[in-house]
A and B are shown apart, each in its own frame.
Chain A
């Protein structure tokens, strides 16, 4: 099962939830954690994995043979990101803008465009106790988080058991790469107007991707009741509420593992896993949010 933890709003507790679920559930089943927040990966700060593999992520990028280029401009016309430009009968490439679709090479009538791999980031893998760990890092200056996030997400294919994906915040391309084709999406939010606003965006994204979703409300006790009211009106299950507790924040701040320090959270997360399992296996209370 692929379980993705996403949020909309940043800083709601995605990584905290993903890491602690991974640690707890690895006690009873095979679990992999994929940190797809390739711009700011942080799950390793809590898991301390021993990295045993590192591989580059590359994107095919066009190289133009000037001898063969006829200057027709078909390559530039198809490029959605202006990574190739034809001026005065000559094609110029801007590799940092290229998203690697291959359209230019496909359409060139002279066969003048070839593709060469260009490094945009790395994926590292390792073990953190019983959790198989993967994360990606996009190279500094490479504005291409989505392909790196997708490359990390793809590692799910080589794993069995439960795969927990820690998505980046927001609802943009890297988040879509993480959430797409998941069996279930947990949306972590907080009971504030900001939490509600971004939760609504995230619910819209999950529905568009046809991934069933449920909500985890973190820091309950702060803020207001609007998130609960919204979830009720939209028929989205609220699967877990984590109270606002200074001890949890202190544990997080020193890179601690909540499930090792707070038995009550172990019970809550076990129950959350059961609810997710029932939602995914189709016999849970209420439809799964879409």
Chain B
């Protein structure tokens, strides 16, 4: 299972579409086996969801995410955990322990239907 985390300076980025990089974690038997960092190609709507789906991510964690990106992930059966904050490793560990607490979506521009 692969988990993608919108990253800025080693912490969860508050804005999915504008994050400088992504952390892609390969999880096996509940443990993080490998982590790699992918630089962002910049803010181009629709590109990242497609790319992360190709990488096999089944979960995406971000501080905030626009409505369009959320829709694209939903259409690809990718779970989106929004409102996370803190260092990437801690967030990942908390997620895998089932204890990740999420707050408000850091990006609240124009979201409609669930």
Contact = CB atoms under 8 A, between A and B. Distances in A.
A283 B29 contact: yes
Q: In terms of DSSP, what is the predominant structure of the interface of chain A?
A: loop
Nearest to A127: B114
Contacts of A275: 30
Given A278-B29, A278-B30, A29 B1 contact: no
A11 interface: no
Nearest to A271: B98
11 contacts: A26-B114, A29-B79, A130-B114, A160-B77, A267-B99, A269-B98, A277-B1, A278-B30, A283-B29, A284-B30, A285-B30
Contacts of A285: 29-30
Contacts of A269: 98
A267 B114 contact: no
A281 B1 contact: yes
B98 to A, nearest CB: 3
Nearest to B75: A160
A260 B94 CA distance: 20
Contact of A284 (B29, B74, B77, B81): B29
Contacts of B12: none
Interface string B41-84: 00000000000000000100000000000000011011111100
A205 B27 CA distance: 31
A26 B81 CA distance: 11
A28 B77 contact: no
A271 B80 contact: no
A287 interface: no
Counting from the closest, the 3 A-B pairs by CB-CB distance are A271-B98, A130-B114, A270-B98
Interface of A: 1, 25-26, 28-30, 129-130, 160-161, 267-272, 274-275, 277-278, 281, 283-285
B74 A274 contact: no
B29 A29 contact: no
Contacts of B1: 277-278, 281, 283
B81 A28 contact: yes
B30 A161 contact: no
B28 interface: yes
Contacts of B27: 278, 283
Contact of B80 (A29, A129, A278): A29
B29 A30 contact: no
A1 B27 CA distance: 19
B41 to A, nearest CB: 25
Given A267-B97, A274-B98, A277-B1, 16 more contacts: A28-B81, A29-B74, A29-B79, A160-B74, A267-B98, A267-B99, A268-B98, A269-B98, A271-B99, A274-B30, A274-B96, A277-B58, A278-B29, A281-B1, A283-B1, A284-B30
